[in-house]
Structure 1
Amino acid sequence: MDPIDAFAAAFTYPVALLRAVTGANVASLTARGIPATYARELTDLAPIYTRGHLAAALEENGHGLATIQIIEKLARRLPTGARHTFRLTLARMVGDVDHIHAAGRALLPATPPPKTGARITRRKNHVWSVTFTGPAATIAQLYDPFKHTRDPATALRDTITRGGVRTVLRPLVVIPLHHTTKVLDGTKDETTFCCSDGVIRTSTHIANMELDETWGFALTHPVAGPVDLVRTQRFANTKQRILATVDNPTCAWDGCTTPADECQIHHLVAWHHGGHTTSSNLATCCAYHNGVNDDNPNAPPRYGHLTRHNGKVTRVYH
């Protein structure tokens, strides 16, 4: 078999691969050149997905290795006794990996919200920790004064002793652009547009036509996503971060609640794969999900990757 065909077959017909792995251990697989991470995963999956009705359903519906990985990731959120039925239910479904992932998430029981309260951890080295659980707005207000300090405990104490914590909100007005508005140039300080009435205008001109120039205005496009940010003062290098925050106030990875202020700016198409630092190619992404994102479009999918679809950032597996 051609090496490329053999490589593709391992992902397209995973049950056959897992049957071949059955009985092997990590050491024997790594000795044959398989990286330890893959070897451990294959030896974990083999005894589960090569048996009876589950294996038959996977083969009958043409599910690939990426789908098995998603099913198992979701199944491990359940108690051990409920996992087999869950796996079998998804294996019997017809659809690509995105469809199976969405169906699996819908089948998972809702996670009950944690109880409000405080927990203190007292250590022998006299360095203690306090964990607060409460309404999102309250915790965000408490966290804001010290999130970028080297000594957060002292910063919080000083803030409280000075009379309390105050949150300052800086609203941005989002101006949706018309579908026919064409971006002409976004490389300079301002983006220029050819508007639907045939007139060429800058971002500031568009904003000043209807809104008070002392505000901040984010311009968005229904397909391209964030385009430009306009305000009375220039934002320099922070402009694209603010636009990414307007587009995704939290990490764009589905289910992640890391706020944009603590996220990295992620290139949807990686720089080393030809992506550019334009707002439509940027999204907020926490450090963990930025690290596991499948940047290489030619590599087999593992965790999925962020992309922009119909103006919104979403995670896909192909």
Structure 2
Amino acid sequence: MNLFESFAHALAAGAIDMLAAFDRGMLVDLGVNPTRVREWSKIRDVYYGPTRFKRQQAKAVSLARSHGASLDKLAFIERSLRLLDDDTERWRLRHRLLELRGPYNSFTRRAKEILPAQEPSVPEDYINFSESKDGKRRFCGSGDEHLLAALEHRLRDGLDTSKTSGPQMMRNFADILTGEGGGVQVPVPRPILAVGLPDFVRIMAGEGDDVVLALSDGTTMTGAEFLAAQFGDILEVAAFHPEAGAVNLYRTERRANKKQRDLAKMVSPLCAFPGCRHGADACELHHVTAWKHGGETNLDNLAPLCRYHNRINDDDPWRKRRGRIVMIRGAPVWISPRGYPVKNTNRGVMDKLFGDYRRRM
């Protein structure tokens, strides 16, 4: 069996046996999409994890093996059953679905005939934002239909029908947020901008249009935009060492003071966990060496983490479940459960001010 045949077998007929040897940490270290790893991990827990339905679990493994259920089929089954509250009914339906054979599209079509009809759930109100890319962000959300209908009507007011409506509606939305055209000004946290001295000299000489500066809200600004803005309102001065990072201030309080928070956000303008898009302004300040283990509230021990990643971080160094944050040369870096370092962003002030110097080390 060649390499591709082994790969195809692991995804198809041999999927259930492959899950028996599932290693989440190895997949993360090898660069597999964490979302896919989490989905496979949940499937593995169903078929091999602890349960009081031992006989039902063993039967499910046997059916999956004998009928050659692929990894995609197993994932579809678990997605389809996740809303059921009755564990006994869930196992019964799982067995019926595992008995189905055939190509994936045929399988899903027949599976929908077996699965009970579910009342559509009313979505909760929410709004999500993507990370910044090429100076843009995407957002989506769900809310009261009357409120959003009124918003759409407002955004469509006065559109030029000979042009695409989307860009015009976005401009109208921006007017509402910024207060132009009689809209309402939306307050936002004041972001912090760090400018290295060499870049500052270039920018002030009109030669720094290509310089990209990082802000603590996860966005960026070019040298030209920096000059055009009233930067006196957002510029704050801080001292950084190319190896140690931001200068320490206080150690007696568990909670960081405002200046410590500001400096930590400049070192890492995003949550330090790989793949997390949350800007530092929306993060909590994490003690790299946990407070319970004697960690001090000094800048060489503080890193911004979003609420979720702050809670799953392995605060105990001997536990290797989700990985943990460490400080490497003045900046926070995630160490995987298998010991591999991964940095979430190179847009922090240490990279901007001392990037060339640090790369030569």
**If the TM-score is normalised by the length of the shorter chain, which range does it land in?**
0.3 to 0.5
TM value normalised by structure 2:
0.37
TM value normalised by structure 1:
0.41
